[in-house]
Amino acid sequence: MTPQDRQNRRKLSRRTAILGGAQLLFIGGLAARMRYLQVEEADQFRLLAEENRINIRLIPPARGEVFDRNGVRLAQNVPSYRIVIVSEDAGDTDLALQKLSQVVALDPESLERTRSELKRSARFLPVTIAEDVSWEDISRVSVNAPALAGITPEVGLSRVYPQGSDLAHVLGYVGPVSDYDLSRIEDPEPLLRIPRFQIGKVGVEAKREKDLRGKAGAKRVEVNATGRIMRELDRQEGEAGADIQLTIDAALQGYAQARLDGESASAVVIDCDSGDIVACASAPTYDPNLFVRGISQADYDLLTGDPYRPLASKTVQGLYPPGSTFKMMTAMAALEEGLIEPDDTAYCPGHLEVSGRKFHCWKRAGHGWVDLQNSLKQSCDVYYYDLALKVGIEKISQMAQLFGLGQRHDVPMSAVAQGLTPTKDWKAAAYGSDWVIGDTVNASIGQGFMLASPLQLAVMTARLATGRSVMPRLIKSTGGIEDPPGTGTPLPLDPENLRKMRRAMFAVVNDRRGTAYKSRIIQDNMRMAGKTGTSQVRNITAAERRSGVISNADLPWERRDHALFVDFAPHDAPKYAVAVVVEHGGGGSTAAAPIARDITLQALYQGEPPLDAYPPKDRPAIRAQQKRLREMRPQANTSGKDQA
């Protein structure tokens, strides 16, 4: 072998070694990668493989139920049976539906809707044929299952309101999630996209939706290549929503609704000790059960076309000039400023002239000389006109705010209104004009710009009765955890001034010359203190005053005055504060006070009060009224303590 051959061999060996080393390095790297993929990442790839044949499906949770303060069910879940069809399993769907029609009664509208949904749905997805069907129909479908290919019965939960229309404005109702609902939520959870899943639309159902909804469960199902479910592998149940207990007394609520029947009116009853709202009635009302599955257009048109506005929750949405029920605020402002003493008098000739304009008293001939108690007892307007000129609107509005007017109280109901306690700055911002002295005069008797809701008037009355900043509470507990009471702290006011107002309110009801004397309670330990109110909804011209003011009875309903009454009882140890507003009811003493008296007695006695609580001359009419209301509420017992 020549030197050249030896050199060539060495070069070849070196290249072979380099190439072999490179091959070994590549094979080693490949082996390491294969080990990593097959050993280290085995679980991940196994999961990816399973995801091609296993789907995760959400399970809707059971919605929390709602109870009254005594454990009476107000909103509950009941089994709801439905019949569904899967096109892929049924084959000829028209023939399947025809066979089903021979087993159970199906209306043509439901069949047409089912056919439309089958055309636009995937063949493996179930389509609902009928909802809320009877157990008998479900049994027939099950018995005939071999002949009804692709048709199966299912069971779920549906919302029911056992008290019907009594608590519609408080509870609200649930309904299927709409596109509008989803658009209002920034990041809707997947649960909300489940077909036919229901959420709260208004009222407590909507305001406490997150508590009531619960958390979804999940199930793993095996699907084939087309996505059809083959079998269920396992499931994890969700977390049911929290039960909620309201402060409402269902028996008292039902009575209040029945007592308001036939009126466009509202009533609020507050427990003075705790701030609990024990009744919150708005009339007319509606049946929330109609909305759960979707209300018909005919039923909805009846509700929206009613001039009494049954869909509105007047207790919190309705804003009214408080009328003479506001006079206590004007008087308290004057007392706290030290501008008057209870014995100070003012002369009422029937009007007060301010800046060349006459402001009239409701009594055309006037009340003569009146002091604080007599002015409230007889509801003299001129006395409060005079006070307003001394106090000014700023102090009056501050006092009203202190008593809960002009505030949006934190209760879980829909469209809670703030009301209005006007000031000079407010008018400048709202109207771009200066406050004038006539505005103050009007505000002093709860007219002009002053606006309040029945809830706010009830809070005002509870604070007058107790001297504390009572706060309204509608939720007693959530998931068994008690909400803090609304007892409140002492108001920064002279207790003696509050006692003067209570004595004057007592005279309104119990003195023979008081405007609410006819609606008094004669049981000594149940006597109430209160105040009537009548608020105008139209202007009375000078010409009409000269010829004689047209009576409410001669006016169209929508032009009549609103009737108001507030009270607390017993007067010497207040337990309940009540506010009643009757829209276009006329006079507070004739329309609102009798209703408030009856509701107050019902609350005090925790059921139907004895006839001897009423004045003797009223007892025959009350006896007939109690009988009528019992017939309207056959489910209620006289003790007022229904069983859950």
Asked if pLDDT for residue 637 goes beyond 60, the answer is: no
Rounded Cα gap, residues 64 and 8, in angstroms? 90
Question: Cα–Cα distances in Å, from 439 out to 347, 354, 425, 448?
Answer: 21, 11, 13, 7
Kind of pairing between the strands at 66-67 and 244-246 = parallel
What is the pLDDT at residue 416?
97
What is the pLDDT at residue 642?
39
Question: Could you state, in order of their start, the residue ranges of all structural domains in the chain?
Answer: 80-156
- How confident is the model over 482-504, as pLDDT tens digits? 999 999 999 999 999 999 999 99
Q: Give the pLDDT mean for 318-322.
A: 97
Least confident piece of the model among 231-235, 454-458, 635-639: 635-639
Exposure on the CB side of residue 120, measured as CA atoms within 13 A: 4
Q: Greater confidence, 91 or 326?
A: 326
What is the pLDDT at residue 198?
86
Q: Which CATH number fits domain 80-156: 2.160.20, 3.30.70, 3.30.1390, 1.10.3470?
A: 3.30.1390
What is the pLDDT at residue 592?
97
Q: Give the pLDDT mean for 113-131.
A: 75
- How confident is the model over 523-572, as pLDDT tens digits? 999 999 999 999 988 777 666 666 777 787 778 888 889 999 999 999 99
Q: State the pLDDT confidence band at 403, using cuts at 50, 70 and 90.
A: very high
Burial of 517 (0-12, 13-18, 19+ CB in 10 A): middle
- How confident is the model over 60-77, as pLDDT tens digits? 889 999 999 999 999 999
Asked if pLDDT for residue 624 goes beyond 60, the answer is: yes
Least confident piece of the model among 72-81, 179-188, 321-330: 179-188
Asked if pLDDT for residue 287 goes beyond 70, the answer is: yes
Q: Greater confidence, 57 or 555?
A: 555
Asked if pLDDT for residue 640 goes beyond 50, the answer is: no
163: CB partners within 8 A, 6+ apart: 72, 74, 250, 253, 254
Asked if pLDDT for residue 638 goes beyond 60, the answer is: no
Read off the amino acid at residue 579.
A
Rounded Cα gap, residues 215 and 618, in angstroms? 55
Q: State the pLDDT confidence band at 245, using cuts at 50, 70 and 90.
A: very high
Least confident piece of the model among 304-308, 339-343, 513-517: 339-343
Q: State the pLDDT confidence band at 641, using cuts at 50, 70 and 90.
A: very low
Q: Give the pLDDT mean for 265-291.
A: 97
Mean of the per-residue pLDDT values of the chain: 88
Rounded Cα gap, residues 111 and 472, in angstroms? 49
Q: Give the pLDDT mean for 45-54.
A: 54
326: CB partners within 8 A, 6+ apart: 400, 405, 443, 444, 445, 446, 450, 452, 533
Q: Give the pLDDT mean for 171-199.
A: 82
Q: How many CB atoms lie within 10 A of CB 261?
A: 13
Note the pTM of the prediction, 2 decimals: 0.85
What is the pLDDT at residue 224?
59
Q: Which residues are catalytic?
A: 324
Q: State the pLDDT confidence band at 644, using cuts at 50, 70 and 90.
A: very low
Rounded Cα gap, residues 580 and 586, in angstroms? 13
Helices (H), 192-249: 203-207, 209-213
Q: State the pLDDT confidence band at 263, using cuts at 50, 70 and 90.
A: very high
Element (H, E) at 388: helix 381-391
What is the pLDDT at residue 194?
67
Tokens of 400: 């009203």
What is the pLDDT at residue 53?
64
